Structure 1
Amino acid sequence: MLGSRGASSSALRVVSLLPSVTENTCALLASCRSRRAASGAMEVLPELVGRSHECDFPPDVVQQLPVLTAPRTAFTSSAEVHSQVREALASASSLYHLDAAKLAALRPDVILTQSSCRVCSIDLASVEAALQAEEGGEQTELNALVAAPSSTEVSDAADTCAFAADGSKTALTQIVTVNPTSLMDAVVTQFQQLGRALGVPEDGDAMAQEHLETLQQLTKQAELLLAKTGEEKPRVALIEWLDPLFLGTSGWMREIVEAAGGQVVESMDGQAGGKEVDVVVVALCGLTLDKTEVELQEGRVGSWWPELFARYSDDEAPPVYIVDGTSMFTRPTKRLLTALEWLVHVLHEPKSEWVKRSTFPFKKFEPSATATTPSTATNASAANGEAKSPELLEIEELHRVACDHHQAMYTDPATGYSVMTAYILKERQVCCGNGCRHCPYGHANVKDPSRRKNTLAGTAFLQPWRRSSGARKDAPGGQLLWPEGVQAADASASELVVMFWSGGKDSFLALSFLYESYTAQQMSMPRVVLLTTIDPDTNAVPIQNIEVQTIVAQAEALELPLCLVAVGLGDAYTSAVQSALRDLPEQMARIRKSKKTPKNLDPTPAIAALAFGDLHLQDIRNWREQTFAKQFTLRFPVWQKDYRTELLPALSRLCVKTGAKIYFSNIDTDRVGSSSEAAWQLGQEYDWKQVEARNEHSDQPVDLMGENGEFHTCVKFPGMS
């Protein structure tokens, strides 16, 4: 049976089934011992009692530990391993064997594993299956927490119960999944979370702070070296696998290149004249430096390798560095900082004494040393071309079935990696910004435009990531626009209002006046949800021409939840919006589901009103009333308010108060004109006095607020690009 601790003074028994976590746990415990020795403190520290077959660092520690797993594949070549992985996953088999009896005999208090990839190491599902088998087929309560997409999480509620054959509970074992996806997760957050999981939070925080300072110093050093050279950022192709080709374009692999002052090469398609690579770094997952060199020397590469170097003359070819990818790049450990330091020098001063004296495990490889197998390369290209369409269809079908069954992930048939479904991503109500394949939010938080491949599909609901310092978690949000002196009340007393949000100045004003109306009536500030329609063809607000990324950033700045509806103009608009409104109360209720949710809070709040930013166009207001008034109360906070005495002064005050600026997002040049003295540019800051000056010299004056469609605007808060 699992679980062992009796007296509180006994050491916490820890089993790690993930090589990176084993290494990090050893580093954390070593730091604990050092800190205790320096202070003279006597304290029983956690004890690592078991590991996986892949755990190999630090060797003096791990070699003494029992090995609990074994691989079901054998390495021969990149392509052959890829084939073995596909076959195993296609048959729903685990790639690893876990000795459950041996694990149970160790009686661990904590089991460390991962849940993001069935290929990299044994995963949570395999651990659960093995433990259930050990319990004689009885269903054990293994409620392990699955980490969020952009962080490593450990939950106080991750305790899992082991039961005897008669059903009596014997002890508690905590299963912790560690799934870092970013460089910050790997070297900072992970150590904080491990510290909490192992009962040494202060030590974890201390190591995290040390790593953070090192990361900041190396990033600054890269900036200084780049400035010193005066050159553009070098374009780096970071290779994770040779055949088929996998590039390190996401997660900490990408961030290491960027922190080192490089640009990440996204593909080997040979665009822009083909010479798009300045440096090649081969850091293969699971392979040592020597094995990587053999792979290259024997030509176990795809067609992309000879095609890449065929684009260059001998003296122009990018340098190729092969490294120990397993220990230095692909495992999320503190050694990522060592890899970053090496890459900083290799990219910006490759001939320096630092590089010459470096003990970092790398070699410079000559591409001509690769054995040529043109027939194999040609066949591989042909095979890829023939299989591309069926593979995409297979992926779509796998994803559809997984979503239909409310599954969080499915296995990619080509790589064996676990891929998150749109279903689970929608459940989280947050776009992580990592460029997920099935992101339902249109890659709204993906910063690099070249990586925004998805457009919004259907309806998606996002909650704000952060709240202002000191703000109550149950506060309605939107405090940035509240009248002065208003205090947040219990959210249970607040009405739910849906603000139709286009991202421009009219919506901005309407939301502010909406809050003022509640103050005037001495009512609690409402819980506001922004609702924006996005044209799926352009991934932008129709007519306003504001990208979904900007809308999401506005909602984040206002700390308000956002409902995105993928629909263009036309007959489908009404049905799509009404469907979103029907679903919205339940989405709002899910935000607040927690143990701390007040008991008197209605779990499914009803929509009290819909609010619009219409100024004076009666036909549009009539349409809204005909469409929505039968089901909802409608509010028009800025309707027929005077421009000069109310709206324009209020807009100026709002911009000063919030630091926001208003820019032109779309201009009807037929109405505005294009003469040199009257021309306005997209992205130019809006100034109503400039509009007024234009009208003084024109026979066709335009509305100062652009209400007739002469122009449209976009609000940008501080920090928005």
Structure 2
Amino acid sequence: MRIVSLVPSATETLFALGLGEEVTAVTHECDHPADALNLPKVTRDVIGQGLSPAEIDRAVRELTEQGRSIYELDEPTLTRLKPDLIVTQALCSVCAVSVDDVRAIAARMDPVPEIVSLDPHTLGEVLGDVRTLAQATDRKDAGVDLVNDAAARIDRVKLAVRGAEPIRVAMLEWLDPVFVGGHWVPQLIEYAGGVDLLGLPGEPSEQRTWEEVAAAAPQVVVVAPCGYDVERGVQEARQYRAQLDALGADRIVVADASAWFSRPGPRLVDGLEWLGHALHPDRVPPPLGGVRALD
């Protein structure tokens, strides 16, 4: 089977299912696992590089208000690859090529490929998407193993923090303007022994003000700018250090959002384990690399 993945989380899931050799192309943002970096890229970023958080937010809003995606699909390359299966998503126009664009291009291809569109809003739905991809690619046993392993790891964290005093958490997934995490993020916080003060499980991320975050009185602030790794997250946090300090939290920690929270794939469980230690270091073992506090 020849598979093209148009969303990084799907790429990660496909490789985790043992399908790496059948993935023939990916997006320009697919960077995990490392083997994905060597595959042809069939998307590009319309917005460009070097913009501030506020400029990125403004550009995204302008494009989405015009009904345009922030990514463009390389139709000639996609057509030449003749995929049997294209995996995309309808969850977030900021995260991938528009699913409508994908369907329109696929309809012009010969033969017309199968399209699987993922749309998870909760951790359970993310695991459900693992089953969906396993079914579509005849990897049912691998899908069962991957889901069972994830469920066991989730249960270990939940058991470790059982009975602990919940920690009041604000997870910030953008800093200018301020957005708080939604979808699966509040669930991860709850499972890690915390209380998400601002996000709603299964609902989209919401824009807030610094004043609203401060009024919620978080004990721990998690800085996790969407799509950024921990080093880029630290850079962003330092630019907004005064606003973060004014929140009055006991601790400010910076997450690898790209790996653990932004992408609805298998590594959300890594994020849960990281978050469990960040909130309850006496109960959950430290993750590889530890937890980065804002210094």
Q: CA 1:333–1:295 in structure 2 vs 1: closer, same or farther (change >3 Å)? A: same
Question: What's the TM-score once normalised by structure 1's chain length?
Answer: 0.37
Moved more, 90-99 or 176-185: 90-99
Aligned match of 2:205: none
- Amino acid in the other structure paired with 2:288: T
Which stretches in structure 1 are left out of the alignment for 5+ residues? 1-11, 31-44, 136-161, 163-169, 227-231, 367-721
Would you say 1:253 and 2:185 are equivalent positions? yes
Aligned-partner Cα distance in 2 for 1:20–1:114: 10
Of residues 266, 271, 279, the one that matches 2:220 is: 279
- Amino acid in the other structure paired with 1:68: V
Q: CA 1:176–1:361 in structure 2 vs 1: closer, same or farther (change >3 Å)? A: farther
Would you say 1:244 and 2:180 are equivalent positions? no
> Secondary structure of the residue that 1:26 maps to in structure 2?
helix
Aligned match of 1:64: 38
Aligned-partner Cα distance in 2 for 1:203–1:189: 13
Aligned match of 1:337: 269
Aligned match of 1:207: 146
Of residues 101, 120, 129, the one that matches 1:180 is: 120
Higher relative contact order (CA 8 A, sep 6+): 2
User: Moved runs in structure 1, 4+ residues, more than 4 A?
Assistant: 267-273
Q: CA 1:275–1:20 in structure 2 vs 1: closer, same or farther (change >3 Å)? A: closer
Asked if structure 2 preserves the Cα contact closer than 8 Å seen for 1:289 and 1:362, the reply is no
Asked if structure 2 preserves the Cα contact closer than 8 Å seen for 1:100 and 1:130, the reply is yes
Q: CA 1:92–1:310 in structure 2 vs 1: closer, same or farther (change >3 Å)? A: closer
Aligned match of 2:202: none
Q: CA 1:191–1:198 in structure 2 vs 1: closer, same or farther (change >3 Å)? A: same
Aligned-partner Cα distance in 2 for 1:14–1:311: 46
- Amino acid in the other structure paired with 1:238: M
Q: Could you list the per-position Cα deviations for residues 385-407 of structure 1 after superposition, in whole angstroms to 9, with x for gaps in the alignment? A: xxxxxxxxxxxxxxxxxxxxxxx
RMSD of aligned Cα (Å): 2.5
Aligned match of 1:113: 88
Asked if structure 1 preserves the Cα contact closer than 8 Å seen for 2:106 and 2:113, the reply is no
Aligned-partner Cα distance in 2 for 1:271–1:281: 15
Of residues 48, 59, 65, the one that matches 1:74 is: 48
> Secondary structure of the residue that 2:24 maps to in structure 1?
strand
Q: CA 1:345–1:202 in structure 2 vs 1: closer, same or farther (change >3 Å)? A: same
Asked if structure 1 preserves the Cα contact closer than 8 Å seen for 2:273 and 2:284, the reply is no
Aligned match of 1:53: 28
Q: CA 1:110–1:281 in structure 2 vs 1: closer, same or farther (change >3 Å)? A: same
Q: Which has the larger radius of gyration?
A: 1
Aligned-partner Cα distance in 1 for 2:191–2:4: 33
Q: CA 1:82–1:353 in structure 2 vs 1: closer, same or farther (change >3 Å)? A: closer
> Secondary structure of the residue that 1:349 maps to in structure 2?
coil
Aligned match of 1:365: 294
> Secondary structure of the residue that 2:172 maps to in structure 1?
strand
Q: CA 1:235–1:191 in structure 2 vs 1: closer, same or farther (change >3 Å)? A: same
Alignment of 1:386-401 (within 5 A): none
Aligned match of 1:16: 5
Asked if structure 2 preserves the Cα contact closer than 8 Å seen for 1:70 and 1:98, the reply is yes
Asked if structure 1 preserves the Cα contact closer than 8 Å seen for 2:3 and 2:23, the reply is yes
Which stretches in structure 2 are left out of the alignment for 5+ residues? 199-207
- Amino acid in the other structure paired with 2:119: N
Alignment of 1:44-443 (within 5 A): 47-59=22-34, 61-75=35-49, 76-131=51-106, 135=108, 162=109, 170-186=110-126, 188-223=127-162, 226=164, 232-248=165-181, 250-266=182-198, 274=215, 276-299=217-240, 306=243, 309-310=245-246, 312=248, 317-349=249-281, 354-355=285-286, 358-360=287-289, 362-366=291-295
